Amino acid sequence: MATAEPSSKAASLAGQEYEVEVGPVAHGGHCVARTAEGRVLFVRHTLPGERIVARVTEGREDSRFLRADAVEVLVPSRDRVPAPCPYAAPGRCGGCDWQHVKPGAQRRLKAEVLAEQLRKLAGLGAEDAGWDGTVEPAPGDKLAPGEVPAWRTRVQYAVDEHGRPGLRRHRSHEVEPVERCLIAAEGVAELGVEGREWPGMASVEAIAATGSSDRMVVLTPRPGRRLPLVSLDRPVSVLRAEDAGRRPGRGEPPVHQVHGRAFVRERADDRTWRVSGGGFWQVHPQAAGLLVDAVMRGLTPRKGETALDLYCGAGLFAGALAERVGERGAVLGIESSPRAVRDARHNLASFERVRVEQGTVERVLPRTGITEADLVVLDPPRAGAGREVVRRICGLGARRVAYVACDPAALARDLAEFRAGGYVPRFLRAFDLFPMTHHMECVAILEPADRARNRGGEGA
């Protein structure tokens, strides 16, 4: 989204307060409101339909819009509840957007955001996308108002200048020290990271594997500082990440094993997956299994088919595809992270007709010489795949494509590119795998438009 401060010369409006009626939810964990003078506000800590006092946090006299927090609720929504977390308040932790919202209403808000992005960026209604209009909770996450699911199996704590661990404030580098993050999984909480000081550290990442007892702490020291002696409340592996001061885009930082294993063992799709410290894995304990199930149900792999797993990470979808296409089938994974490629090759070593190539999809896919495939899975980063990758996928003639997305706007933009390339959604599912936040995960199954026309009114 564009900055709210296009000019440094205009007077700042930070601290100005407005009494406003709150309008619809918007992508990013806030709602839209307008002042009496017509100024657009993006407001956190509120809900559609409320009347509030909004205090500006960012923006100037000539800004196209202002950012604000709801500092007083004059007329509350019926979906409002007292925030269970004391840090979920204006000016404090920026991790959770919807602590003040009933769980069912959180999912409705996310559904409204997804519907808006599909309509605005892809020109698709819910029926056009094959979506039933709901955001599905993970099993066990359908809790009563005021309850918080402890779902986050990986938490990266920032450390302030006093060595206290905490989380970043919204749109800020400032650290909010926390004694307990309510959404941290039990295995993370058991490590006791929040209960001690970390002098000289820039960040501490706590990892609790799903399906094994593996626990890990990844420490990032400030420049020139040494690691502290680590004595935590449970047996734990310790790694050192040397990325302090690293500029974005220079590749992943080196990670050095200090104590214990250099990886954790995750469990999904009836297999164990090695994931090195600092590597990517879904943070909700049920996410990997739910997403594999949704992708495989959508693709319906057949024995002997060829498949691509783009942005394959540790090989989760490639392994699921390999199991299902069998010995006569073949799977190619492409991943940019060298660390993840090593993990994927280890995890998939038992499949003779699976290979994993290292590099960006944009560069590697053309040089493989592959001109056709039966199935494609892509799970790109938050920014999406982009036109070049989408057009190349469309040229492979796959009978089905599974797109796994963690950002509804990026998904919608890429769906528009797929439609231009001759592919349309067969169906779409959305999952609430990030409760209390504005994030969600989607799985869209695409097929050639001519096949969809021939299918006519058949269901998914």
Supply the DSSP string of 127-187, one letter for each residue: TTTT--S-EEEPTT----TT-----BSEEEEEE-TTS-EEEEBTTSS-EEE-S--TTB-HH
Alpha-carbon Rg of the chain, whole angstroms?
A: 23
Q: Which of 238, 267, 296 is the last residue of a domain?
A: 267
**Any idea what the CATH number is for the domain that residue 203 is in?**
2.40.50.1070
403 marked among binding-site residues: no
Q: Is residue 50 in some structural domain?
A: yes
- 42 shares its domain with 135: no
Distances (CA, A) of 347 to 272, 315, 327, 335, 365: 8, 7, 17, 14, 21
Considering the domain architecture, whether residues 427 and 308 belong to the same structural domain is answered as yes
Of 281, 143, 257, the C-alpha closest to 207 is 281
pLDDT at 374: 98
Q: Check residue 250 and give its pLDDT.
A: 45
| Positions marked active-site | 406
Q: Tell me whether residue 92 is in a domain.
A: no
Report the candidate in 377, 438, 379 with the shortest Cα–Cα distance to residue 117. Answer: 438
Sign of CA dihedral 277, 282, 288, 291: negative
Of the candidates 237, 390, 377, 216, the residue with the CA atom closest to the CA atom of residue 311: 377
Residue 86 near residue 182, CB atoms below 8 Å: no
The pLDDT of residue 447: 98
What's the structural domain count of the chain?
3
Are 165 and 214 within one domain?
yes
Both tokens assigned to 46? 């509120």
Q: With the C-alpha atoms ordered 238, 156, 334, 209, is the resulting torsion angle positive or negative?
A: positive
pTM for this one?
Answer: 0.92
Q: Is residue 148 part of a domain?
A: no
Task: Give the model's pLDDT for residue 245.
Answer: 43
Q: What pairs with residue 156 in β-bridges?
A: 205
Instruction: Let me know whether 130 and 162 are in one domain.
Output: no
DSSP helix, strand, coil percent of the chain (3-state; round to 5): 20, 30, 50
DSSP 204-247: EEEEE-SSS--EEEEEEEPTTPPPPP---SS--EEEEE--TTPP
Q: How far apart are CA 174 and CA 159, in angstroms?
A: 10
Last residue of a domain, one of 57, 78, 99: 78
Tell me: do 417 and 303 sit in the same domain.
Answer: yes
Would you state the pLDDT for residue 226? Answer: 81
Same domain assignment for residues 43 and 74: yes
Written as tens digits, the pLDDT of the chain (460 aa) is 455 555 468 899 999 999 999 999 999 999 999 999 999 999 999 999 999 999 999 999 999 999 999 999 999 999 999 999 999 999 999 999 999 999 999 999 999 999 999 999 999 999 999 999 999 999 888 777 778 899 999 999 999 999 999 999 999 999 999 999 999 999 999 999 999 999 999 999 999 999 999 999 999 999 988 887 777 777 899 998 875 444 444 457 778 777 788 999 999 999 999 999 878 999 999 999 999 999 999 999 999 999 999 999 999 999 999 999 999 999 999 999 999 999 999 999 999 999 999 999 999 999 999 999 999 999 999 999 999 999 999 999 999 999 999 999 999 999 999 999 999 999 999 999 999 999 999 999 999 999 877 776 444 4
Same domain, 58 and 9: yes
On whether both 36 and 117 belong to a single domain, the answer is no
**Domain final position from 267, 302, 326:** 267
Q: Which domain holds residue 130?
A: 110-140+280-455
DSSP assignment, residue 196?
S
In a domain, 245, yes or no: yes
Q: Is residue 16 part of a domain?
A: yes
pLDDT of residue 247: 41
CATH number for the domain spanning 340: value is 3.40.50.150
- Are 394 and 291 contained in the same domain? yes
Domain membership of residue 147 (yes or no) is: no
- 203 and 300 in a single domain? The answer is no
Q: Are residues 302 and 451 in the same domain?
A: yes
The pairing of beta strand 354-358 with beta strand 400-405: unpaired
95 belongs to a structural domain? no
Please tell me whether residues 133 and 172 are part of one structural domain: no
Q: Which domain CATH number covers 32?
A: 2.40.50.140
Q: CB under 8 Å to 63, separation ≥6 — which residues?
A: 4, 5, 6, 10, 13
Is position 99 within any domain? Answer: no
282 in a known ligand binding site: yes
